[in-house]
Chain A
Amino acid sequence: MNPTTVDLAITLALQLATKASELFGRIGAAQAGGPPITDADLDAAATAVGVSRQGLLDAIKQAKAEGR
């Protein structure tokens, strides 16, 4: 078996499940009368995007160094 493929599938599934749980939980709370989505929420999400983007850029740099 190729463990990479299976591990990858599990990793991606868990990433998606975690993100979906957080995201729809927050929106559901807002719609249930909780605090609405504010600019602070969007800024926090944008900050997370920035972190992820930098992580990807670092990975690209590493991949290029390895000739991939």
Chain B
Amino acid sequence: MNIELVPAPWRQMKTYTMWLGILIGTLDAAMLLVAQFTNLNILTPTQVLGINAVLGFLIVPAKLILQNIPVTTDEKIAVVAAAAAQPVKAGEQNIEVKVDDAPVPPPITPERLPMKHHLRAAQAAFLLLFTLAVLGCAQLGLASPQTVSEKALVATAAVDQVLKTTTTLLNARQIGSADAENVVKITDGASAGIAVARTVAAADPAAGQSRLTAVMTILTGLQTYLATKGATK
């Protein structure tokens, strides 16, 4: 007896959601690169945020739909085994098992979430590039910080955002207290760096801006790490 699994239409969504995440990331990266190297403002920051939000939210219903679809090898085996256990009609050689008609697999807990790797990869891409898009708004046009004060304000806001993101992740049990303590140490250093940069800038604006750029590099890396951490753990 041959048993063939026929993919249900919704199963195809796993590919769509994965590619959706990759598409969002690719578009963001392309816009940032074009804006960076050509001074061509493709979209305003508000438009970028809006597009990211809309596309990002599309992943959510797709994930809901995928909730109970068996995808892993173990789940497929369970479905096939259940189907094989059913009586076979005389003379029937091939049985087509549709997933939608198959016995309901065991409840899927968050830890056994089908497609979690693909979807969380998509979420990671979304969060990562959303963060980069937000931090890269200056590259996209309207409100690029120019003065030391403006850059210091951006850096300070970034410190604040990193702290809030870390708190959110910690409360959601996505990171541990050790990680959070490291973030506190790094952001304390960043805050001190901002203060030093402002002091240095009073005498040497270029040196002050250079220090602020270094601080922003650290904060951007930290924010990226947190976004990935939250989406993949």
Name A's B-contacting residues (CB within 8 A).
Answer: 1-2, 4-13, 15-17, 19-28, 30-31, 36-39, 41-42, 45-46, 48-49, 52-53, 55-57, 59-60, 63-64, 68
Contact = CB atoms under 8 A, between A and B. Distances in A.
B182 to A, nearest CB: 11
17 contacts: A4-B110, A5-B123, A9-B123, A9-B126, A12-B127, A17-B134, A19-B157, A20-B134, A23-B153, A23-B154, A27-B154, A28-B142, A30-B150, A56-B170, A56-B183, A64-B177, A68-B177
Contacts of A48: 160
Interface of B: 45-46, 49, 52-53, 56-57, 60, 63-64, 67, 110, 113, 116, 120, 123, 126-127, 130-131, 134, 137-138, 142-147, 149-150, 152-154, 156-157, 159-161, 163-174, 176-177, 180-181, 183-184, 187-188, 191, 198, 227, 230-231
Nearest to A14: B53
Given A12-B165, A13-B53, A57-B184, A63 B153 contact: no
A7 to B, nearest CB: 8
Q: Which 4 A-B pairs have the closest CB atoms?
A: A2-B110, A28-B143, A24-B143, A52-B163
A27 B45 contact: no
Question: For the complex, would chain A's binding face be called helix, strand, loop or mixed by DSSP majority?
Answer: helix
A41 to B, nearest CB: 6
Contacts, number: 154
A68 B176 contact: yes
Contact of A6 (B60, B143, B146, B176): B60
A49 B154 contact: no
Contact of A56 (B113, B146, B163): B163
B113 A1 contact: yes
Contact of A15 (B60, B137, B161, B231): B161
A11 to B, nearest CB: 6
Given A27-B153, A37-B147, A20 B173 contact: no
Contact of B170 (A16, A28, A60): A60
A60 to B, nearest CB: 5
B81 to A, nearest CB: 25
Contact of B167 (A6, A37, A52): A52
Contacts of A15: 161, 164-165, 168
Nearest to B226: A12
Contact of B191 (A2, A9, A46, A63): A46
A57 B188 CA distance: 12
B49 A20 contact: yes
A9 B56 contact: yes
A46 B171 CA distance: 23
